[in-house]
Amino acid sequence: MKKALFILLAAILPCGCKHARRFIIEGCISGADSSVLYLEHLTLGEGVVRIDSVRLGKDGTFRFEKAGTGSPEFYRLRIADGGINLAIDSTETVRVKADMKDLSFGYTVEGSAACDSIRLLCLKLADMEREARRISADRNFTIAERDSMIQRLVDRYKAEVKKDFLHGHYDRTYSYYACFQTLGGSLIFNPMNDRSDLTWMRAIANAWNERYPESPRTQNLVAIIQECRKNQQKPRQIVLDVDGDKVRELGIIDMTFPDIHGQERTLSDLRGQVILLDFTAFSMDGSTERTLLLREIYNKYHDQGFEIYQVSLDPSQHLWKLASEALPWVSVYCEEGLESDMLTLYDVNHLPQYFLIDRNCDLQARQENIPDLEEAIKALL
């Protein structure tokens, strides 16, 4: 009997392995001879995780074969700063063709309608980002005017995406992907502030919950919707009631908070650089325009020794992670939110509020006393 059982298992096991869920990503990237192509998993909790790589030859061909998860997941092909975002539903074979000169936007994809829709969403977002940067750099308008123009740009983008991608396709991977696109570090679809966005994202969450009830991404989206529904009635403008007499003036008051990867980041570890300490909340009005302005300054002066330590006080940690994932500076999360002692110690009575710290880690100025932020940074550099 034991011998017969062994024979039966031997017959079954190869069959099980043969039908194991696996997916393949293959194709050709021309003009990338000797470049390293990375396959990255865009995870929920750990951020971007590199799972494989290959050095391309002259013909540019590549092939990755990996185990599927049983529910949709998101991946990225990357060479240097160029990347191609893909959605994989466990068992697909996706074929990608691209040229290194225009890797992120000039590629084609076969074998997955979802991946092609994501390609179109990325192209559409890139067009909006270019227009938003043009508006942000136009000093013929005030900050309020630029913010209003960018908001109209975002509203038009959302209306088109809802009509062309989301409507009637709530259970698709590209609908989920569209929910978490960002502009300037801020979510384009912001269910925390916009009731219409919350309605659309609820429809996607319900569809995913019906089709992929065990998926961590479903559970994450449902949790976001529940949290946003609870906070929907909260005002967008955040005002703090603090006692200025409690403020301590000791150079700086050090702080340590976790970043998106869970790594503890301490303010004083940035000693030797000029630091912009920024208390903010991505769920507030004007966050997109402000982030674009900060990114412009950061890109201009980072190589000269300028850094940003940004403390998010958003009520939703989920939304903070999504908003800060693509930011190049130090973005940390304060779980205590508006109850944090740091707000009292720094006499923060409204958000957003920033401070400038010199290379010796001494506090030099606060927002109200800085008529021109860029000039103040240049003086400290």
Digit-coded pLDDT (tens) for 324-350: 888 999 999 998 888 887 887 788 888
Digit-coded pLDDT (tens) for 12-68: 334 444 445 789 999 999 999 999 999 999 988 788 899 999 999 999 999 999 988
CA distance 106 to 31: 13
In sequence order, what E strands does the chain have?
22-30, 36-42, 48-55, 61-67, 73-79, 82-88, 93-99, 108-110, 182-183, 186-187, 256-258, 264-266, 274-280, 306-312, 330-333, 353-357, 363-366
CA distance 171 to 51: 27
Q: Is the pLDDT of residue 270 over 80?
A: yes
Q: What mean pLDDT, rounded, does the chain reach?
A: 84
Peptide bond into 216 cis (omega under 30): no
Digit-coded pLDDT (tens) for 216-225: 999 989 888 8
Which of 110-133 are b and which e, b meaning 16 or more Cβ less than 10 Å from the residue's Cβ? eebebbebbbebbebbeebeeebe
Q: In what order do the strands lie in the sheet with 36-42?
A: 48-55, 36-42, 73-79, 82-88
Q: pTM for the complete prediction?
A: 0.63
Q: How confident is the model at residue 241 (pLDDT cuts 50, 70, 90)?
A: very low
Q: Is the pLDDT of residue 131 over 50?
A: yes
User: Which residue do the tokens 């062309």 mark?
Assistant: 164
Reading the block at residue 248, the tokens are: 């301590």
Q: Is the pLDDT of residue 254 over 90?
A: no
